[in-house]
Amino acid sequence: MASKKRQPIIPETLTHAAVSDRISGIVLEQPSPVAWKLAFFVSAVLVFMLLAALTVVFTTGVGLFGVNIPVAWGFPIVNTVWWIGIAHAGTLISAVLLLTRQHWRASINRLAEAMAMFAIVCAGIYPLLHLGRPWLAYYLLPYPDTMDLWPQWRSPLVWDFFAISTYLIYTMSFLYLSLLPDFATIRDHAKTRFSQLFYGVLALGWRNSAIHWARYEKANLVMAAVAAPIVVSVTGIISLDLAVSIVPGFHFTIFPPYFVAGALFSGFSTVALLAVIMRSLFGLKALITRQHLDYLGRMMLVFALVVDYAYTQEMFTAWYSGDTFYRTVYLDRWTGPYAPVWWSMILCNVVLVQLLWFKRIRREPLAIFGLAITSNIGMWLERFQIVFTSTHADFMPSAWDTVWPTTWDWLVYAGTLGLFTLLILLFVRVAPLVSMHDMRAEIHRGEKHD
């Protein structure tokens, strides 16, 4: 009995040479679109604003932020967790799709890996800011000295430092490893001496030999296998910043898996957002197809449902525990000063995301683009309400207060958005935004099924 032909996810007319020429041409030959230049200008302005805000905060102090008792963490921890969630999801998406041999990974894995790399850079800014004295950040390192000074291992700042630094080293290695064959392809396509030398150095002598490919495949699989425990453990560490406390609203054992699911939800949303933008900006509709958007929409829906289940479990635990303080936290979230944040989160993460049940919505670029934005907003609001609503009304009514982010909080946050965008824009001009060797392998698999 003849086997059923696999439905191709990319056009059958694409060839190996066409894919290589098209993707490498974006880096070597295609001029930057007007939209790219405009986005670069806006993001550059935001980065300069970030540098100015950081300078003022470093010289004046973190008192400029809206952090005060009882909300002692505030905006920095909100944005740290949000950026780390996006970063972790990027690597986990690429690694898990590789290990499970998902053929549609070829078009979006590079965007996911780049997203992870640049999001963790943005996340790392906040713990240093929150120190108050960032020039003493080396105190977080377990270095030997004559005064027996060691890190305070019970401090969440120390946990954040090791989690972020470990993940930064890993994601840099994973991204660079995946780029090696593509750098060699660009080197071979380059027409100027400078480009040949530049990409030749980056390719590390890659010659497309069988030995190189064998070692690459083994290293890539090892790195992908390591990704899952690293991402889960690092995300779990970040969730323990909150869960190890006795504060109602923080003290939930469900937080580690809840944060992993939330990270994957926001990560798939950000990949979908970047995929829609890049396929339109550089004319890659033949490589990043509507079917890819459909798969991304499905994954967004899956992890949105897991997050929604976690919301239900939180509320059930607060009610079932019979603890007055836990119940009060949720009543305050629904009716208190931060109630608009809670209900906006529910709208974004529970209500609007249900549109992804419909195939027509998942395959429509503008619809996916809009839902990706609302999903990321919803995940940011989730972190905001966890941090603020759990602490602004603690056990002592005399300490209750309503704290809101200040102008400096918003300036730094907008600056990190600009930094992330700027790094992505620069990356797609110096490195292939779609993996050429994975795409060629996908075409080869399609030919074998014919």
Residue pLDDT, tens place only, 61-80: 888 887 777 777 778 888 88
Give me the percent of the chain exceeding a pLDDT of 90. Answer: 21
C-alpha angle 71/77/80, rounded to 5°? 170
Name the CA dihedral angle for 224, 230, 232, 233, rounded to a multiple of 10 degrees. 160
Q: Is the pLDDT of residue 282 over 90?
A: no
Is the Cα dihedral 197, 198, 199, 203 positive or negative? positive
Place of tokens 């339109």: 280
Omega of the bond prior to 33 within 30 degrees of 0, cis? no
Q: Is the pLDDT of residue 148 over 70?
A: no
pLDDT in tens, 366-395: 999 999 999 999 999 998 888 888 887 777
Say what the pLDDT of residue 324 is: 81
Q: What is the reported pLDDT for 445?
A: 61
Q: Is the pLDDT of residue 313 over 90?
A: no
pLDDT (average), residues 309-319:
86
For 68, phi then psi, to 5°, come to: -160, 165
At residue 187, does pLDDT exceed 50? yes
| Per-residue confidence band for 95, with pLDDT thresholds at 50, 70 and 90 | confident
Measured CA angle at 247 (ends 242, 252), to 5 deg: 55
Contact 120, 164 (CB under 8 A): yes
Give the model's pLDDT for residue 47. 94
Helix (H) or strand (E) holding 119: helix 109-130
CA separation for the pair 235, 257 (Å, rounded): 9
Distance (Å, whole) CA 267 – CA 280 = 20
The answer to whether residue 1 scores a pLDDT higher than 60 is: no
396-415 per-position pLDDT tens digit: 777 777 888 888 889 999 99
State the maximum Cα–Cα separation within the chain, in Å, rounded to a whole number: 77
CB atoms within 10 A of CB 60: 10
